[in-house]
Amino acid sequence: MRGPTSPAEDLQALKTKAQTRFVARLLVLGIALACLGTARQAVAVPTSPSGGCPQPPNTLIINEFAVGSGNSPRWIELYNPSKYALSLKSVVAVVLPIVGSKPTTKPEDIKQYALGELLAELPAGEVVAIGHVPPVANSVTALLKTKVLDLGAEFILPCGAKVAIEGPNGLVDHVMWDLCGTKDYKGVWNLDPVQADICKNDDLKLWCQPPAELAALGTPGKANVACDLDGDKYPSVAPAGAQADCDDLDKQIFPGAIEVCNGKDDDCNGQTDENLVAPPGTCLVKGVCGNPLLDGKPVAHCDGQGGFSCTYPYGYESVSETLCDGFDNDCDGLTDEGLTNACGGCGAVPVEACNGQDDDCDGTTDDVGDLPQACTATGLCAAAKTVCAAGKLACEMPLGHEATETLCDGQDNDCDGATDEELGKGLDCTKGTGICAAKGTLQCGSAGKVVCELADPDGVRKPEAELCGDGKDNNCDGFTDEGFAVGDQCEAGTGACRVVGKKVCAADKKKAVCNVSPLPASPFERCANQQDDDCDGATDEPECETADGQGGPCSAAPTPTAAGPWGWLLVGATAALTVRRRRVL
């Protein structure tokens, strides 16, 4: 065991512990700062997948282009679909004109543009348009100049070209078009938003031109407008309240289309081949073939792309009838043909039964006297008689019989030995609502109905005017304290005197009033503060008073010009000084 330590040793131990904790804290802080710095760095753009798809998690997609040269605006738009900002360092756009039917291979015709010189990085989920908008004086050009990063007049996009985006490690994405000699030579083309994938955007069938109102401008720097690629008048992305096309590449599929058996969601309701009925003649329907299967499914069922098929229930015989069972097993419309006995049944002649037939073939049908009696002699059922109906013995009940007692008439209608039970006769009840409610008991009324008979009909209160906040239904309409809007926002006074409050019940409870009063009005109107200081409904009247107490006409405060951020900073500073001066005064 260690002996007692000296004060000097204790002091040295405390210093060592403090130094250890300080170093640990520095280490944690350094790790946190390193992680923060790493999180802020933009991710490098990877190359497109080798040999196919899917696309990598961090990539750039070409999703819009405008063909043009000379005085025509032209651009390409890039979209970052990833969760991280992408660095554009060492990323170039390459334009290769189409010669014949293939991109040119001549170095002098191939143009490259360094994107990192215009924009260091592209944030996650953002788009950027790069190109050239000539200085032509019109509203379209003026608006486009604010949306397209300029690559200079030498940047052109011919009617036939291949545009490739290349990163530091190779090809990222490319799109090729040849519109020369077509009516679609000019204008803007955008990729359908649903098809935003580098594995799809090289197929021009997935591109479209914007609607007429956007034909000249397109959507540079913004999300693309949805296309209607199959021309069925339903776009791939619909505005709020509308339905979108769930397959914009198939004209037969759109919201509201007729669902057919093909393994597709034709009507875009999220279900496939639902609630379909096979066309007549698809399957046999006579005999057992008209019965559903044991699992409840119909005989004819949709197998998706294979169309309808037939699965027949148990007992079906495909060649000829072999079972004598009372069913049309071969579904030809005939039952047990060639298999029945002299009575038309199968096997031995049956014993007489209550079934509407002459079972023993003796010429007499359903001899009731020889059959067990099915009636009881209790209550109204004492007048019942046994009959054979629909193949079963039953009791023919007299008038007034009920399976469950519902008539309050002093009789045993359900033949269970009790009279008017389960109807609540004699129990307490309440009639009316609110202050008009009165107590009574349940009794038999006219037409056998149970009614609430009041103990003191003359003592029932009449409806009164509804009061505010008494918690009672005064007008007996089933609602309490309605019609007063208690708690709604209200206001008193105007201008600087205006106070906002809430509605509360008045002292007499007959109405709701605002729980606030207007603030006192200023004795004078201040100039150029855009406020109604004296609460008279007018602002900065000609006879107003300036901040130094001098009277005189009120002039409007100067309006800041579009002088950029410094002009607005000056206006803000002036406003702050004015507020401070008013507080001092």
> What CATH number has the domain bearing residue 149?
2.60.40.1260
**Same-domain pairing of 202 and 294:** no
Averaged pLDDT score across all residues of the chain = 79
* The pLDDT of residue 114: 93
The answer to the question of residue 162 being in a domain is yes
The answer to the question of residue 479 being in a domain is no
Taking a C-beta distance cutoff of 8 angstroms, is the pair 65, 160 a contact?
no
Distance of alpha carbon 387 from alpha carbon 429, whole angstroms: 43
Q: Compute the average pLDDT of residues 361-368.
A: 78
> Is pLDDT above 50 for 559?
no
Nearest residue to 392 via CA among 371, 411, 361, 378: 371
The answer to the question of residue 187 being in a domain is yes
The answer to the question of residue 186 being in a domain is yes
**Same-domain pairing of 71 and 210:** yes
Q: Compute the average pLDDT of residues 420-438.
A: 81
Residues above pLDDT 90, as percent of the chain: 19
Residues above pLDDT 70, as percent of the chain: 82
**Same-domain pairing of 65 and 210:** yes
- Per residue in 94-119, pLDDT tens? 999 999 889 999 999 999 999 999 99
pTM value is 0.44
Cβ neighbourhood burial of 436 (10 Å; 0-12, 13-18, 19+): middle
The answer to the question of residue 118 being in a domain is yes
The answer to the question of residue 283 being in a domain is yes
pLDDT band at residue 213 under the 50/70/90 scheme: low
pLDDT band at residue 273 under the 50/70/90 scheme: very high
**Same-domain pairing of 210 and 97:** yes
Residue 492, H or E segment = strand 489-492
**Same-domain pairing of 170 and 287:** no
Task: State which of 164, 187, 214 marks the end of a domain.
Answer: 214
The answer to the question of residue 584 being in a domain is no
CA dihedral 386, 392, 397, 402 (to 10 degrees): 150
> Is pLDDT above 70 for 511?
yes
**Same-domain pairing of 174 and 313:** no
* The pLDDT of residue 122: 92
Least confident of 119-128, 178-187, 453-462: 178-187
**Same-domain pairing of 313 and 452:** no
Q: What domain count does the chain have?
A: 3
Domain around 89:
61-214
Least confident of 186-195, 367-376, 514-523: 367-376
CA dihedral 272, 276, 282, 286 (to 10 degrees): 140
Q: Compute the average pLDDT of residues 49-72.
A: 84
Distance of alpha carbon 223 from alpha carbon 446, whole angstroms: 73
> Is pLDDT above 50 for 431?
yes
* The pLDDT of residue 263: 93
* The pLDDT of residue 439: 86
If you count DSSP H runs as helices and E runs as strands, how many of each does the chain have, helices first?
Answer: 3, 23
* The pLDDT of residue 299: 82
**Same-domain pairing of 192 and 77:** yes
The answer to the question of residue 109 being in a domain is yes
**Same-domain pairing of 206 and 296:** no
Q: Compute the average pLDDT of residues 347-363.
A: 77
Task: State which of 214, 235, 261 marks the end of a domain.
Answer: 214
* The pLDDT of residue 552: 52
**Same-domain pairing of 206 and 286:** no
Task: State which of 186, 214, 242 marks the end of a domain.
Answer: 214
**Same-domain pairing of 209 and 65:** yes
* The pLDDT of residue 8: 44
**Same-domain pairing of 198 and 284:** no
